[in-house]
Each structure stands twice: as C-alpha cells, then as structure tokens.
Structure 1
Amino acid sequence: MKYLIYLALTVLSLISCKRFSNEDAKESNKERLVCISKQYTEIAFALGAQKNIVAVDLSSTFPPEAKQLPTVGYHRALSAEAILANRPTLILEDNNIGPEHVVDQLKKLKIPMKRFGEYSKSLAGTDSLMREMGSYFHKEKQADSLCKNLETELKKAIAEAKKYTKKNKVLVIHYGQANNVYLVMTQSSVAGKMIEWAGGKIAVNVEKGMRHLSPEIVALADPDVILITDFGYDKLGGSYDRIKELPGIASTKAFKNKRIYRIEEHDLVYLGPRTGKNVLLIQNLIHKDEAKQ
C-alpha cells in the first residue's frame, strides 16, 4: 500500500511539473515557490520577492495578498497532494513543518527544499534573516531598508514606553478558549518580548512560549489588560456579553475596566519587518487613555 501511494504521488509530481512534456517550455521552466513559513512569507512580500510564490501554508496570513494564494495546509499538518498540485520547483521551510510522513514523501520525490539560516528569535537574528533572504532574492537594497526601518521604529517604541507611569500586566490569549482551557503566551514567547518593549509585563511567567492554563489560573493572574488574538476574538463576535461568558475572565481588572482588545495573531508570534510598528500598536492598546510622565 505504501508503495502504491508513493508511486501515485511520484506520477502526480512528474505530470504536474511537466518535466516530460513539451507544453509551454517557458511556463515549465518558471520558478514556482511554495512557502511554508509565515515569517518567510511576510519577509518575501516586504522585499518585493513574492512574484514566484504560488502557494503558502495556512499560518501565512500577512500581508493580505498572501491570503489570496492557494494553501497547502497548516505548517504542522501539511497535505502532500496540495503541495504537489501547485507544481513546486522549490519549497521554502523553516524546520517547523510536518507531519513526518508528508515530509518523508516530499524528500523521496526529491523536491528541492530551502531553509534560511537558523536564527534565534532575536532582533539580530531577524536582521540577519532579512538580509539573507534579500541576498537570495537579489533584493539587497530592499533588505537593508527593512532592517533600518525596523531599528528606527523599535527605538521609537521603546523610547515612548519609558514615558508611561505604569507597567501594566498583560495576558495574551491565543486562539481564544478551547475546551475550557486557555492557550496563553508567556514571557518566553515573542509576544512577551514585544509587550516588554511596549512598556508592559506579561501576566504568565513560565519557561514555555505558550502554555495551556485553567480559568482559575487566568483569574488568579488578574491582568490589567487582556489581548485576544483574532481567531478567538472573532469567534466571540467581539461582544463584551460573550466575553463575560468566558470562565475566569469576568473577575479580572481587565474585564471590569473594559480593557480587553482584539489583536492579529501574526502581529505577535514572530519578529519581522513590522515588529517596530507592532510594538507601537501593542503600546497604544495596553496604555490606552493612560497619562505619560
């Protein structure tokens, strides 16, 4: 059975890629990139290097144009058939893809994969990543501009943060509520760093970047501000009456003071060209109507 599946995928790949066809030689020689990394996708578009991207994974939601492209599944739950249907000549991936059997299938089919340098979730690493991608796509000037803008905007945000008199405690709920348990972002996450730069402090201090927590622990954390990512917030219809129904939320200072806000997930989970702007966005939310020094 495994052999038949492998053979079927091989045939589909060869036909889809037109490797043995005389049809439209120019089209068959055109580079076709499938990008399976939300961070890579945003950077490629920011560089102006999106021309040959033909498909992305479901987590690649920025910029809005990326959502118009075909998708190949969530980056940890990919579909081999969807990938092959897009006739890729190269797959861009960041070492965070799966499931394993799909990755093995792609390797057996010898579809080229490209991974840019292994960078830590730091500003220096983000700078290096943007420059490496700029070099790969022959967009060095654009990469240099992105790096300079990031540095300038982040410095501005950090300087502004110092003017606020209070360091609010912030809880970030990712994907809203699932089975009476919340998936929250911690001080170890990218969001934790961004909130700190914005002049706040994360409400949950554990080693993992994300953690499932009970409503009781969320209530005990008693944040001043709650940020709910778009998927969960939109599921509630953005209504405070619906938010009140979430276990553990109604007793918090954030709820009582009406300081619960929607934020796009892609603004929080990785560092990239817009990080400075996103820190300013977070700052405006967590310090809304507060006095500066």
Structure 2
Amino acid sequence: MNYLVLLLSTAVLFLAAQPSLVNAFPLTVISCDREMTMVSPPERAIAHGSNLVEIMMALGLEDRMLGYTGRINIDETEGLYPGVTQLRQLQRDTPNLEMILDAESDFYFAGWSYGMRVGGEVTPDSLARYDVPVYELSESCIRLGQKNGASFDYLYRDLENLAAIFGVPNRAEALISDYRNRLEKVLAQVAQREHWPRIFVYDSGEKVPFTAGGFAMPQAIITAAGGENIAADIDNSWVRIDWETVAARDPEVVVIVDYGAITAAEKITYIKEHAALSHISAVRNDRFLVLSYSDLTPGPRNIDAVERLADFLIAG
C-alpha cells in the first residue's frame, strides 16, 4: 500500500471547524469532540510533559506559562528552546486537581495518557467546574474512541488552535509553513523508492514490548520517511504486542525511544540478545536508530525525526 497517498491527503482531520485566524475573543475551537470557548487569552497556563511544553515554546508562549507538570529533559529541551529554564516544574508526575487549583492556573494543556486519564481526577469536566479550560492533544483523542489515522494534521491542528487561544495566530502559520516545506523535500526524496523498509518502534517492555500502532505519531513519521511500521494494522496509538509478532514481521530497522531509566544502549542490547529476535533483519544487520521521546510524540521535533529517519533509511 502506498502510504504517501494517505500522508499527502490533509482533509481528514480538518472536518472539524478550525478557528478563524483573527485575534478576536470570545473564540471557540474544537478539542477532541468538545467545543471550548475562550473569552480571553490565558496568562497562567500549565502544560504536561516535554512534547506539549515544546509545542508551547515553539509558539513563543513561555511568558504565558505558569509552569509545567511531568518529566522533561531540560538539557535536551534547552538546546532548542532556552526559555524552558524560566519555567517551574509544578509536579513531577501527573498533576492532581488540588495542585492545579492551588497554583491558580487559568489553562491546562494535556492529553489522554499525557497528563490525564479517562475516569481520572483531572479531566476537562472536572476542571470546568472551577473555570479552568483544558485543551486536549489531538493525537490522544483516540483514548476517547475517536479513530483517525495518524497524520501531521494532528500537530498542525494543535498549533493553530493553541495559537488562536493565545491570540497569536500568525506564529502557527509560520511554523506550519516551514514544517510543510521540509516534509515536501523529504517526500520528494522517498517518493520513487521501490522498497520501504519494515520498522519496529521499541518504546519499552521486556515480557511484552510497548510500541506505536497505526494511530500514534510515529506512524506518520515512518510513512513520511519512506518506511513501513510493522504495527500499522493495529487500530490504536501506543500499544503492547508480543515478541512473536515482532519476530514474524521481521523488521529491517528498529527505532529505539530514548527515555526513562533504561538507556537506549540497554534497550538495543536487550533486543540483540533476545532469543526470539536473533534472526530478524535489524539484528543481523545492526540497524538501530535512537530517537527521543519528544521526537516521537506530537510536537515540533517530529519534522526533525522524519528527516533523521529518512537519512538513516537512505544510508542503509
């Protein structure tokens, strides 16, 4: 199947109404399947996790942020966005309702499995009771049953919506134009490639691996770079599969997600020494590429990830 056709079609995720690029309030945008109306731009926003913080930073919104929750590799983020050092870490893990309210935040940018969970304490509904609006990361809407294939339109939609919410629509326009131009260059390089290598994304897990299914952002990254995700047929985002399935699908490249207590080198060693994987092409040919958590979750590093993966596949 030629996934370029799917990638280049940008209409699917924009069936929902998009905000007008006019700095006017009140303003209504779509977050997952909800309409949310802002009467003025936030001044004390909180974002959860490194990729969501970097989306805010890419839009130049650090002066509108109270701080962040979740874990961030400050050294990595500072290299691209020095302003991150001005922000406070308000809570190391998923925030609780009391923390958000005590901080007197006026906006929470999070996602399902990115700082919120279905049925949890912190949700758009629970915070709405205290007049704290929540914008949900578009890729995470699958956790609510919304099933749209992975696409960079997730990222574009979030950039446009957030820029409108904060009254800076032109910043999103500039970023999206740059991202589209860079992707077009990569697509031109890979369009004529006859063989698209099979790729396995290894996030974590020893008994069973945690990987990216067909609705996770790595699906869009792999497709744009000219590869095929071995878990593309799984109608979910980040999922657990089994090692037997990985072995049977014989990935030619393994993309390692570099984060957490277990290092990328340790993950590579584990795969190389796994008895069921000794025959797979990636192990036999030593084809491993390390990308960061922020590269592979929705955010401004996604385009860098496409470029790096495309170069890696071409070099192989």
Normalising by structure 1, what TM-score? 0.73
Whose radius of gyration is greater, 1 or 2?
Answer: 1
The root-mean-square deviation of aligned C-alpha atoms, in Å, is 3.3
| Conservation of the 8 A alpha-carbon contact between 1:72 and 1:83 | no
SS at structure 2 position matched to 1:102:
coil
CA distance in 2, matches of 1:238, 1:93: 30
CA distance in 2, matches of 1:42, 1:160: 28
Residue number in structure 1 paired with 2:54? 42
- Say whether residues 1:114 and 2:134 are aligned partners: yes
- Say whether residues 1:200 and 2:212 are aligned partners: no
CA distance in 1, matches of 2:221, 2:171: 24
Q: Flag the 1:257–1:233 CA change in 2: closer, same or farther, 3 A.
A: farther
Residue number in structure 2 paired with 1:86? 103
Amino acid paired to 2:59: L
Match for residue 158 of structure 1 among 187, 191, 201: 187
Q: Flag the 1:197–1:137 CA change in 2: closer, same or farther, 3 A.
A: same
Question: Shift of residue 84 of structure 1?
Answer: 4.2
Match for residue 293 of structure 2 among 248, 252, 265: 265
Q: Flag the 1:281–1:248 CA change in 2: closer, same or farther, 3 A.
A: same
Question: Shift of residue 85 of structure 1?
Answer: 5.0
Q: Flag the 1:235–1:124 CA change in 2: closer, same or farther, 3 A.
A: closer
Question: Shift of residue 165 of structure 1?
Answer: 4.4
- Say whether residues 1:231 and 2:259 are aligned partners: yes
Match for residue 163 of structure 2 among 112, 129, 134: 134
Question: Shift of residue 212 of structure 1?
Answer: 1.4
Which consecutive residues of structure 1, in runs of 5 or more, have no partner in the other structure? 1-29
Residue number in structure 2 paired with 1:285? 312
| Conservation of the 8 A alpha-carbon contact between 2:112 and 2:118 | no
- Say whether residues 1:213 and 2:213 are aligned partners: no
| Conservation of the 8 A alpha-carbon contact between 1:173 and 1:183 | yes
| Conservation of the 8 A alpha-carbon contact between 1:172 and 1:184 | yes
Give the count of matched residue pairs.
Answer: 255
Cα deviations by residue, 1:79-106 (Å, 9 ceiling, x for unpaired): 3344345342332344661364522795
Match for residue 67 of structure 2 among 36, 45, 55: 55
Which consecutive residues of structure 2, in runs of 5 or more, have no partner in the other structure? 1-41, 140-147
Question: Shift of residue 144 of structure 1?
Answer: 1.4
CA distance in 1, matches of 2:293, 2:137: 24
Amino acid paired to 1:79: N
Residue number in structure 1 paired with 2:215? 188
Q: Flag the 1:173–1:232 CA change in 2: closer, same or farther, 3 A.
A: farther
CA distance in 2, matches of 1:139, 1:81: 30
Question: Shift of residue 115 of structure 1?
Answer: 2.1
Residue identity over aligned pairs, in percent, reads 18
Question: Shift of residue 196 of structure 1?
Answer: 1.3
Normalising by structure 2, what TM-score? 0.68
